[in-house]
Structure formats: C-alpha cells, structure tokens
C-alpha cells in the first residue's frame, strides 16, 4: 500500500487515520495512513517531512502547529494555499517537486453546500475570528459566491489585516464583536478558538435571523457554546465542524488519489462514535 501520514503535535486524538482508512476501504485504494507525532524544535518538522518522502511516502496532512512550516517548505502552492498562508496537504508531483495545498476552506464550503444545503451564492457572511482558521476559508467562500464577508475579531487589527489581504477578491470589512451591525446574516461562521475554553465571543442577538445558518468550525460530543447560542436564537440551521473535518480529508484524498470519497455515511458514523 502507498504510505500517507498526518504530522502534528499533539496528534494522539487525530481522527485522520480512521477517516482515511474508511476512504481507502470505500474506494478500494491501497492506502496506509498513520498519525505521527513531530517534536517541536527548530528544523525537526522539516527533517521529518524530507525523510518521509525520501523513504517513499506519498502524501502528508499537516496539522497544528506546523501548517505555516509546510507552507514555507512547499516549492509549489495551490492558489488556496498561497492565500491561506498555510498548507495542510503535501505531496510530490511527477517531477519530484514538493507541492502544498490547503483543503480546509474547500472542506467547509463542501460541508455547507453539499451536506447541509446552504448555498454561499449571494450570501452575506459574518466570520468570527481572524486567525489561521478564518484566513484559510476566505478565498473559497468568495469563490463560492459570497457577496459580502464581515470579519469580526477580538483584536480588530487582525481582522483588518485579513481584509487587506483578500480585498481584491470581494467585499470585505472588519470590526470588533460589539460593533457588528445589528442585522441578520445569511451565514455566520465561528472560527475563533473561544469554544476550546468553553467561551463565546460577546455577540449581538440581531445577527441571527430566522433564515440564518450558523456554523462552528469546532465540534464535540456535546453542542459547542456557539451552537447552543445559535439554537437558542432560532437559527434555521446550526452545524458544527465535524463535517468540515471529514470533507477536508476527502479533498486531500482526492488530490492524492484522484478519487473523491463519499462522505455522508462516514460523517454519521463518526458522529455516533463521539458520544
């Protein structure tokens, strides 16, 4: 079987080996996918990536905290990766060039549109947060037809930086949580890591309307604080990030193997395993 792996730190709880094993079985592709802990320290990640490919490895997923390192290592980057400033998928092309892609944004767009029937065409979007997670999804959102994206962040200057980086692609603006305009958005995405601390940014109630779809990039066995908040305000759809996780994996698998796996059953299965 061809060898693949995910590199990160921590990595123990990664669901990627489970997900890719399911994709391999479903598609009949001979894929051996493992999780590998990479120690922190100058040059360690780079050395292990080199070694993995030198020993015949075919592709890597890269997770926290190495996505920027992977971006720097890649000699060729997809447009999405270039803009995201982060690479989560590495492989070598026929010439041996190390190529980097970023499938997080496509994963989120797929989960919204294909799995949850939420169209981004013409959508007015509110993005909460301005870190790497949000940066990775702006280009795919604008390419999927979002007509406006408001980026709200605790540190407004970081939201402003993203607006400047992506302003050539569409209508973007930045603000703090308290200054979000009191109007219903079509799609609200929580890309802050506040839920990791069980927290929720201070958000105006008026941003959720009866037709709003609310999406948390985080997920868990229990609804996240943001999902609970959105449900209580009567959002039309409330979705957590499990589907995004599985869709970004499916897109990496497609890049490596040329076959896009089916995802709905696997999402349901892994959902059931969470509790």
Q: In the annotation, is 158 catalytic?
A: no
In angstroms, give the least distance from the CB of 25 to ligand ATR: 31
Element (H, E) at 70: helix 67-73
Residue 166 DSSP SS3: helix
Q: Is 9 or 26 the residue whose CB approaches ligand ATR more closely?
A: 9
In angstroms, give the least distance from the CB of 64 to ligand ATR: 7
Q: How far apart, in whole angstroms, are the C-alpha atoms of residue 145 and residue 196?
A: 30
Q: Is 201 or 243 the residue whose CB approaches ligand ATR more closely?
A: 201
Cα 81 from chain centroid (whole Å)? 12
Q: Is 197 or 275 the residue whose CB approaches ligand ATR more closely?
A: 197
On the CB side of 132, CA atoms within 13 Å amount to 16
Q: Is 17 or 85 the residue whose CB approaches ligand ATR more closely?
A: 85
Residue nearest to ligand ATR (CB): 131
In angstroms, give the least distance from the CB of 195 to ligand ATR: 9
Give the Cβ contact number of residue 264 at 10 Å: 11
In angstroms, give the least distance from the CB of 108 to ligand ATR: 13
246-134-68-218 Cα dihedral, nearest 10 degrees: -40
Q: Is 192 or 263 the residue whose CB approaches ligand ATR more closely?
A: 192
Helices 264-274 and 242-257 cross at an angle (nearest 10°) of 140
In angstroms, give the least distance from the CB of 197 to ligand ATR: 5
| Structure tokens given for 217 | 């990039």
Distance set, CA 62 to CA 21, 46, 67, 88 (Å): 17, 12, 6, 4
Q: Please pick, among 15, 67, 121, 158, the residue that the annotation labels catalytic.
A: 67
| Structure tokens given for 275 | 């509790």
Binding site for ligand ATR (CB under 6 A): 129-133, 153-155, 158, 192-194, 197, 199, 201
Active site residues: 67
């Amino acid at each position: 079987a061809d060898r693949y792996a995910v590199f990160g730190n921590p990595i123990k709880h990664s669901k990627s080996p489970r997900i890719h094993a399911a994709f391999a079985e479903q598609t009949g592709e001979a894929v051996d996918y493992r999780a590998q802990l990479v120690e922190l320290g100058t040059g360690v990640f780079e050395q292990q990536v080199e070694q993995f490919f030198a020993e015949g490895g075919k592709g890597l997923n890269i997770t926290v905290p190495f996505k920027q390192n992977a971006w720097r290592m890649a000699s060729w980057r997809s447009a999405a990766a270039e803009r995201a400033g982060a690479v989560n998928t590495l492989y070598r092309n026929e010439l041996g060039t190390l190529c980097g892609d970023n499938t997080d944004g496509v994963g989120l767009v797929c989960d919204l549109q294909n799995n949850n029937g939420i169209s981004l065409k013409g959508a007015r979007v509110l993005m909460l947060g301005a870190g790497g997670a949000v940066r990775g999804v702006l280009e795919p959102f604008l390419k999927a037809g979002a007509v406006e994206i408001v980026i709200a962040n605790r540190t407004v200057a970081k939201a402003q930086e993203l607006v400047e980086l992506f302003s050539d692609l569409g209508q973007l603006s930045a603000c703090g949580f308290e200054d979000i305009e009191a109007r219903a958005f079509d799609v609200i995405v929580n890309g802050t890591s506040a839920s990791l601390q069980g927290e929720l940014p201070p958000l105006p109630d008026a941003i959720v309307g009866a037709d709003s779809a609310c999406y948390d990039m985080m997920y868990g066995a229990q609804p996240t604080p943001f999902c609970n908040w959105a449900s209580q305000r009567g959002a039309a759809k409330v979705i957590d990030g499990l589907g995004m996780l599985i869709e970004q994996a499916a897109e990496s698998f497609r890049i490596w193997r040329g076959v896009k796996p089916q995802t709905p059953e696997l999402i349901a299965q892994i959902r059931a395993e969470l509790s």
